[in-house]
Amino acid sequence: MNLNLYLIADYLTAFSFQTRFVDDLSASPLTSLRLFDPEQPLCPSRLYLAAAADLPALIIADEPCSIICIGTPPDAYLKSNLNLLVLDSEVSLTRVFNAVEEIFLRFNQWEAQLQTVFYTKKSIKALCDASLDVFINPISVYTSDLKLICYAEREKPDQLMLFNTADNEQYLSIDEINALKIDTDFIHTINTRAPEIFPKDIFGYRILIHNLHLQNVYVARICISETDRPIKNSDFLLIQTLAFYSELCLRDHGDQPYNHHPKDFDSLLTELLSHREVDARALEKYLNYYHWNQSDAFCCCQLPISSYEKSTLTANALAFQLSTHISGSCVSQYDNAIVLIINLTQSGKTRNQHLANLAYFIRDGIIKAGVSNEFNGFAKLSAYYQQAKIAYEVGSLYDETLWCYRYEYYALPFLIARSSAGYDPEVLCASGLLRLREYDQKRGRNYCEVLKVYLENNMNIAKTIRILFLQRATFLYQLKRITEIAHLNLSDYPTRLHLLLSFQILEQQNRC
């Protein structure tokens, strides 16, 4: 295994010394230890051991080289392209040589152990277990979407353990996910290739991380949690070695699933949501897996996956948290959205109760949801998914500050927008209302508003005059003038319906 002088310095604990580094923490140039020979040119892959008295006054190093010097080296060395570790002049050269050789031997043995683990078990968990004596701190591996693949931790009292067996194959909590999504340090680490320290602000301890890639795609990360000992400079190099063998193991793993659905269930949901026919027997089998019946009552939610969700890779984690936290539910992903299907019959809760529970995940405006009406019959899912999608699309235009858009609140605006698209309002609106609007504009009156309030309150005079702050006689006079100007028969239901729809069309097109 290649080392660097940072690692040598961390493990040369029997000596006191001073250091000067020019290499990066993650550089790994050193393959072996050599006694310094002034007749031989320096090689960047060798670590040289020398007494200060044996060093020439000047030294030339085109590339960074590394020297352990017993005694103070000439001044030129402190300004040259060298990594230096300077020990007291009284130290035995033989003792130092043997101590450094032991460090090389120790980490060559560790790498050999990692190689053996890879070739025999091909398990990232086994790699972490084999590395625990090197890092001391807990080691964990998470998928890019924040699911724990495995961990390794020294035995301690339960209250001091960072992980337990129940954490395996689990995502981070929703609180942790939401905190990470808006954390600039976390977002920065998503695209890093070198080891980095994640600050302690969120978890209460620092974490040394290294991302794992397959075919240049970030798929997982190794985390060394600073809970048992301080993170050392050498850990930056060591985590790179562990990452190398972990990536080899990942090549033998299938895609990490984001849910625990039976095989092919997500494909069947995609077919159903795409308005394509599905095998009734296959659908029945999957419903039986959840102990659901075709005739149960359901509702459907659509939670679009934003570009921000995609960039922070947290959509799968959110989907998993939803499925475990919302009783009687299953979650899939379709058309760049999380689809949450809730069985109201099985859960024993109402739609309103589930939406109140859903608010826990949607708070702070990080995620928004469109919600369908309640329906009976799972085979109708595609139609009610469309309701949820419409609710989100229309609701986010009308009320962008809300987190939850219920279809019943936006069905009429959607219908009006679809039916009036491409038409001038004057083509669709009641002619009497257009005459009344023109009269208001010329005479400075508000007869359109009076008529609208009167119709919206089912022609209840008491409610209308209370809303408009009008006397009864004044209102009755205005109502008489309205019917005269607009030539309206308000006792006719189709006329009233046409007028109410006309008001909606004009409002949507900002024409009233």
Per residue in 125-170, pLDDT (tens digit) is 999 999 999 999 999 999 888 889 899 999 999 889 999 888 888 8
Q: If phi over 0 gives left and psi between -120 and 50 gives alpha, with beta otherwise, what is residue 122? A: left
Please answer whether residues 433 and 397 qualify as being in contact, where contact means their C-beta atoms are separated by less than 8 angstroms: no
d(CA 218, CA 192): 9
User: What are 342's strand-pairing partners?
Assistant: 299, 329
Enumerate residue ranges in the chain where pLDDT < 70. Answer: 252-261, 307-313, 361, 363-366, 510-512
C-alpha atoms less than 13 angstroms from C-alpha of 271 in its C-beta half-sphere: 13
Per-residue confidence (pLDDT) for residue 109, from 0 to 100: 97
Burial status of residue 282 (CB atoms within 10 A of its CB: 0-12, 13-18, 19 or more): middle
For 377-443, strand residue ranges (E) read 404-406
d(CA 495, CA 499): 6
d(CA 419, CA 411): 12
Please answer whether residues 436 and 503 qualify as being in contact, where contact means their C-beta atoms are separated by less than 8 angstroms: no
CA dihedral sign, ordered 249, 254, 258, 260: negative
Find how far residue 94's CA is from the centre of its chain: 54
12 Cβ contact partners less than 8 Å away, ≥ 6 residues apart: 85, 96, 99, 100, 103
Please answer whether residues 161 and 153 qualify as being in contact, where contact means their C-beta atoms are separated by less than 8 angstroms: yes
460 Cβ contact partners less than 8 Å away, ≥ 6 residues apart: none
Closest alpha carbon to 409 in 457, 371, 381: 371
With b meaning 16 or more CB within 10 Å and e meaning fewer, what string describes 336-375? ebbbbbbbbebbebebeebbeebeebbeeebbbbbbbeeb
Please name the helix (run of DSSP H) or strand (run of DSSP E) that holds residue 459, with its range, or none: none
User: What are 34's strand-pairing partners?
Assistant: 48
CA 174 → CA 145, 178, 318, 329, distances in Å? Answer: 12, 6, 7, 17
d(CA 420, CA 433): 17
Across the chain, what does the average pLDDT equal? 89
Per-residue confidence (pLDDT) for residue 310, from 0 to 100: 66
User: What are 33's strand-pairing partners?
Assistant: 47
Please answer whether residues 6 and 68 qualify as being in contact, where contact means their C-beta atoms are separated by less than 8 angstroms: no
417 Cβ contact partners less than 8 Å away, ≥ 6 residues apart: 394, 508
Altogether, the residues listed in the chain come to a count of 512
CB atoms within 10 A of CB 23: 19
Phi, psi of 483 (to 5 degrees): -65, -30
d(CA 366, CA 146): 17
For 200-256, the pLDDT digits (tens) are: 999 999 999 999 988 777 888 999 999 999 999 999 999 999 999 999 888 765 444
- CA angle at residue 53 from 64 to 33, to 5 degrees? 45
CA 61 → CA 54, 121, 151, distances in Å? Answer: 17, 43, 43
d(CA 448, CA 478): 11
Please answer whether residues 378 and 268 qualify as being in contact, where contact means their C-beta atoms are separated by less than 8 angstroms: no
- CA angle at residue 69 from 66 to 72, to 5 degrees? 125
Type of residue found at 333 = Q
77 Cβ contact partners less than 8 Å away, ≥ 6 residues apart: 55, 59, 67, 69, 84
Six token digits for residue 100: 């450094």
Type of residue found at 343 = N
